[in-house]
Chains A and B, each alone.
Chain A
Amino acid sequence: MKPLLGTLYLLGMLVPRGLGYDRFPARHRREVVDKTGSPWRSLETYSYDRYHPMEEIYQWMNQISEKYTEVVTQHFLGMTYETRPLYYLQISQPSNNPKKIIWMDCGIHAREWIAPAFCQWFVKEILQNYKDNSRIRGFLKNLDFYVLPVLNIDGYIYTWTTDRLWRKSRSSHNNGTCFGTDLNRNFNISWCSTGASQNCEDITFCGTGPASEPETQAVSSLIESQKENVVCFLTIHSYGQLILTPYGYTTNKSSNHEELIQVGQKAANALKAKHGTNYRVGASADILYTTSGSSKDWAHDIGIPFSYTVELRDNGTFGFILPETQIQATCEETMEAILSIVDDVYAKYWSSNSAGKVTSTAVVLSLLTSFTSLL
């Protein structure tokens, strides 16, 4: 009796999914209401070529994890200084394979609006195409994507309400006379040694100590706890059209510098092929300026082999205030760059890795060869 009930229960789970029924009752759907009172927006009408305020991005994350529930999970990462929740989206094709992680965060600097726009675009592209696109389906066999669409939520909101060119977080210092830490100077890597300021009024204020900020702690804790599994750490910024490798805090080269440059250059080439946009590739202390406490340097030094900061369009004509009319083209070309990096990361770990697969392929090939030679 029990096994039969068990089987019936399993069938109840599997059949509706197979037939594409929506697993969430209508009651739940009605709960997702735009807090500003405007009509409920569906994912079908979400504009990926417009900038969205944080309320809409929160809503979008809910809708994404609801619609693509078979592969997406929304995770709570921590709280911001102003006590807003930080969420990341995990995109994971269920399987028995052990998985490695590709991490991508956007919007660590508040004014770089094109970055969160790209994170949303990226998620949309993966989810709309993973079933049909063999390239994406391929890497989802062994890779999970963790995407944090807006890291500096408080700062991002501040750029919508008050100061479009704000960069830092909104932490309060000196008895409320001074605000904001540059989160990309706050990570625990050669903290505040160069290219950062101990003065809260400065735009590259490194904070009151390494990882003093809740946003930094939230990201660091997760990555630290998963560091054996994270193979690639990407952090998206604007502007400058650059693919930056470690380090910023020193001109010494990382142990896999050549490889990082090669992979980066390949990504820049793939990007350029799309719309002709030129990106430069190099270590940030070489082609940009020295920085300490940056997330990509920290990630690399805790053992994540592929670690990049990507600075998106443009080259200064509009700078941080990139017109919405450029969002689509920027996202399309950047997508090519990121996919190129993922391809290379995937190839490094899985093309000749899975012994079982190689053996069986080798066996088949040798069988075919021997049959052919018999003919």
Chain B
Amino acid sequence: MGSVSIFQINAEKECTVDLVFTTERHNPEEGEEHLGKCSARVLFRNQKPRPVINITCTRLTEKNKRQQEDYLLYKQMEQLRNPLDVVNIPDSHGHVGPSLRPIWELAFLGSSYVMWEKTTQFLHYYMAQLSSVKQWKTNDGAIDFDYTVLLHEFSTQEIIPCRIHLVWSPGKPLKVKYHCQELQAPEEASGTEGGSAVAPTELSNF
């Protein structure tokens, strides 16, 4: 799958993790297995969250094709009947209905930004479930999506509910605002990049 090397130079001050990994499509189409190759350096400073990430990838789907796919996805979502009565994706048995899949994936995209902001060298997050949809609007070529997820933090085993509001337009940076119900207060970040309103949607050399 890939390799991981961890350097702790003065672990109190800095922890660097070097990663090599491959990527695959989140929802693989029949017969087409596109593997991107990435290497990344992740830096945690002073055991704080929101690590600094430098990442390089090759063999990703090319930009034009990605934009095309984003646009198609947007069109697909535009067709969706308003899913405001939707709760729990996946359901208890792990099923995600095909028509709800794009919602789940968009929820995951927003959650991954939230998780990046909260991750430290000790705290690792996963999206356990999309618990409810508060609002789903498509207008002006953008999806306005307000929802709650349950994040699972691995080392404490806690489940953390987060309310996330994202705005997604194909080809434009994702806008994310969120609030999580937490036991501890949020911390300063490891890096200085990004405010809470903007996160990268494309992988590129920083």
Binding site for B on A (CB under 8 A): 50-51, 159-160, 164-165, 167, 203-204, 240, 278, 289, 316-326
Contacts and interface: CB of A to CB of B under 8 A. Distances in A.
Nearest to B26: A317
Given A278-B1, A323-B94, 6 more contacts: A51-B92, A51-B93, A165-B159, A167-B157, A203-B158, A319-B126
B16 interface: no
Contacts of B94: 318, 321-326
B92 A321 contact: yes
Contacts of A164: 88, 92, 129
A165 B128 contact: yes
Contacts of B126: 316-317, 319
B152 interface: yes
Contacts, number: 51
A104 B90 CA distance: 29
Contact of A160 (B1, B90, B92, B150): B92
Contacts of A165: 128-129, 150, 152, 159
Nearest to A315: B126
Contacts of A289: 154-155
Dominant SS among interface residues on chain A? loop
Nearest to A290: B155
Contacts of B81: none
B79 interface: no
A159 B77 CA distance: 32
21 contacts: A51-B92, A164-B88, A164-B129, A165-B129, A165-B150, A167-B157, A278-B1, A289-B154, A316-B152, A318-B94, A319-B126, A321-B93, A321-B128, A322-B94, A323-B90, A323-B93, A323-B94, A323-B96, A324-B93, A324-B94, A324-B95
Contacts of A320: 128, 152
A203 B157 contact: yes
Nearest to A184: B157
Contacts of A321: 90, 92-94, 128-129
A323 B157 contact: no
Chain B interface category by residue count = 10 to 19
Nearest to A159: B92
Query: Which of A167, A318, A325 counts the most B-chain CB atoms under 10 A from its CB?
Result: A318
Interface of B: 1, 88, 90, 92-96, 126, 128-129, 150, 152, 154-159
A328 to B, nearest CB: 13
Contacts of B152: 165, 316, 319-320
B156 to A, nearest CB: 7
Nearest to A318: B94
Contacts of A203: 156-159
Contacts of B88: 164
A164 B93 CA distance: 10
A325 B90 CA distance: 13
Contacts of B93: 50-51, 321, 323-324
A51 B93 CA distance: 7
Contacts of A204: 156-157
B92 A323 contact: no
A159 B159 CA distance: 14
Contact of A323 (B95, B128, B154): B95
A133 B198 CA distance: 59
Contacts of A167: 157
A277 to B, nearest CB: 10
A325 to B, nearest CB: 7
A266 B148 CA distance: 42
A177 to B, nearest CB: 18
Contacts of A160: 92
Nearest to A276: B1
Query: Which of B93, B94, B129 counts the most A-chain CB atoms under 10 A from its CB?
Result: B94
Query: Which of B92, B157, B159 counts the most A-chain CB atoms under 10 A from its CB?
Result: B157
B116 to A, nearest CB: 14
B127 to A, nearest CB: 8
Contacts of A319: 126, 128, 152
B169 to A, nearest CB: 26
Nearest to A240: B154
A159 B88 CA distance: 13
A322 B129 CA distance: 11
B160 to A, nearest CB: 11
Contacts of A316: 126, 152
